Amino acid sequence: MEATYRALCEHGYADLTMQDIADEAGRSKSLLHYHYDTKEGLFVAFFDYLLDSFEARVADGDDGLSARERLLSLVALLTVDDEEEARLHQALLELRTQAPYNDAYQQQLRRTKNALQTLIADVIADGVESGEFRDVDPESTARFVLAALDGARSSRVTLGDDADTEAVRDGIRRFVLDDLTR
Amino acid sequence: MEATYRALCEHGYADLTMQDIADEAGRSKSLLHYHYDTKEGLFVAFFDYLLDSFEARVADGDDGLSARERLLSLVALLTVDDEEEARLHQALLELRTQAPYNDAYQQQLRRTKNALQTLIADVIADGVESGEFRDVDPESTARFVLAALDGARSSRVTLGDDADTEAVRDGIRRFVLDDLTR
């Protein structure tokens, strides 16, 4: 999975071969095929790996924080900070454009997106429950926040535009969070 | 340009050939090449065409509206409403993933995005100027709104998820516009 990460960053998605990933892992292509029948199967597993790593990082720093702080920490984790992350998300965007033609990708992308959405919605629901946030629909608000973060990532990876990342971080703070805690 | 629109909706971006577009236009491929040296040159022109059509639709309905109404009308124009628009935006997303490898695309996508951003920022600046909106940074707010709309379109075209479109429309209304007019 780490080799897949590095190979995606290096080669992008469209031109990536099982051989590239095997080379990156320092293993044979036949060993790779022993574990994953197809490139598609490997990428479906790779999304599970990305989501697991993400959830581990979220759980790590969650103790004793307010809902506002937890949401800001999720926002920070979901923005592209450096060139390596930008290259990964560029490859993931290429892969996502295949989803309309590929059921396995589409199902996996839906699962991954639902998991992220639930993480954010749960923080908002906790904030509403504790009275820290005013009463809003956690799911719809989570969808709005995730869409803005996704737009910022797309702009970063396709245009190299960092200003959108900053504007979205700022917008979530000023419009969403300030409103929730008003 | 209309034939390019139809051909993109039908074939997507990745597999589209000059022949497909010529067929859709009912013209010869050599006539198409007379006007556009490359597929790339044709798509750069196609983005100008899309932007011109968009700006014409905006200018059309702009008279006597409040800044809030003008912003909501821009939001409506920038969301995917039907299958044809979804197919077009799916093709455009495929094309956008080529921008990191293609300078002509990247420059054109920057120009198009800046034009949309300016349209939205101008409405916000007008609202601030007239006192309808509180004082915010029009450019940063426009970037936030555009990013959310872009995320909603990506989710619609890659996952077929309409709920994000609704959540983003709702989020812009409840969090951004209600805050601006508070």
Instruction: Render pLDDT for A137-167 as a digit per residue (tens, 0 to 9).
Output: 999 999 999 999 999 999 999 999 899 999 9
- Regarding predicted confidence, which is higher, B4 or B182? B4
How confident is the prediction for chain A on average, in pLDDT?
94
pLDDT at residue A180 is higher than 90: yes
Between helix B67-77 and helix B103-130 the angle, nearest 10°, is: 160
String of DSSP letters for B84-96: HHHHHHHHHHHHH
* Beta-carbon separation of A150 and B151 below 8 A: yes
pLDDT at residue A63 is higher than 80: no
Cα–Cα nearest to B39, from B107, B95, B78:
B95
Q: How far apart are CA B49 and CA A3, in angstroms?
A: 43
Structure tokens at B108: 């054109």
DSSP 8-state code for residue A6: H
Q: How far apart are CA B119 and CA B124, in angstroms?
A: 9
pLDDT of residue B143: 98
A83 and B CB contact within 8 Å: no
pLDDT of residue A138: 98
pLDDT of residue B64: 85
ipTM of this complex prediction, to 2 decimal places: 0.95
Cα–Cα nearest to B89, from B177, B164, B173:
B164
B151 and A CB contact within 8 Å: yes
- Over residues A20-39, mean pLDDT: 93
B15 confidence band (pLDDT: 50, 70, 90): confident
A59 confidence band (pLDDT: 50, 70, 90): confident
Torsion angle (degrees, nearest 10) of CA A11, A53, A125, B154: 10
Distance from CA of A48 to the nearest CA of B (A): 17
pLDDT of residue A60: 75
Contact of B157 with B86, CB cutoff 8 Å: yes
Pick the residue from chain A with its C-alpha nearest to B111. A159
pLDDT of residue B5: 95
A155 and B CB contact within 8 Å: yes
Structure tokens at A80: 């592209």
Instruction: Give the global pTM.
Output: 0.96
User: pLDDT digit string (tens) for B88-139?
Assistant: 999 999 999 999 999 999 999 999 999 999 999 999 999 999 999 999 999 9
* Collapsed DSSP state (helix, strand, coil) of residue A80: coil
Contact of B81 with B151, CB cutoff 8 Å: no
User: pLDDT digit string (tens) for B55-97?
Assistant: 998 887 777 899 999 999 999 999 998 999 999 999 999 999 9
| CB contacts, 8 Å: B159 with chain A | 99, 106, 109-110, 113
pLDDT at residue A19 is higher than 90: yes
How confident is the prediction for chain B on average, in pLDDT?
94
Contact of B165 with B152, CB cutoff 8 Å: yes
pLDDT of residue B177: 97
- Over residues A50-61, mean pLDDT: 88
User: pLDDT digit string (tens) for A5-16?
Assistant: 999 999 999 889
pLDDT of residue B86: 94
User: pLDDT digit string (tens) for A77-106?
Assistant: 999 989 999 999 999 999 999 999 999 999
Alpha helices in B26-162 (DSSP H): 29-35, 39-60, 67-77, 83-96, 103-130, 138-159
* Beta-carbon separation of B147 and A163 below 8 A: no
| CB contacts, 8 Å: A170 with chain B | 140, 144
Q: How far apart are CA B64 and CA B149, in angstroms?
A: 25
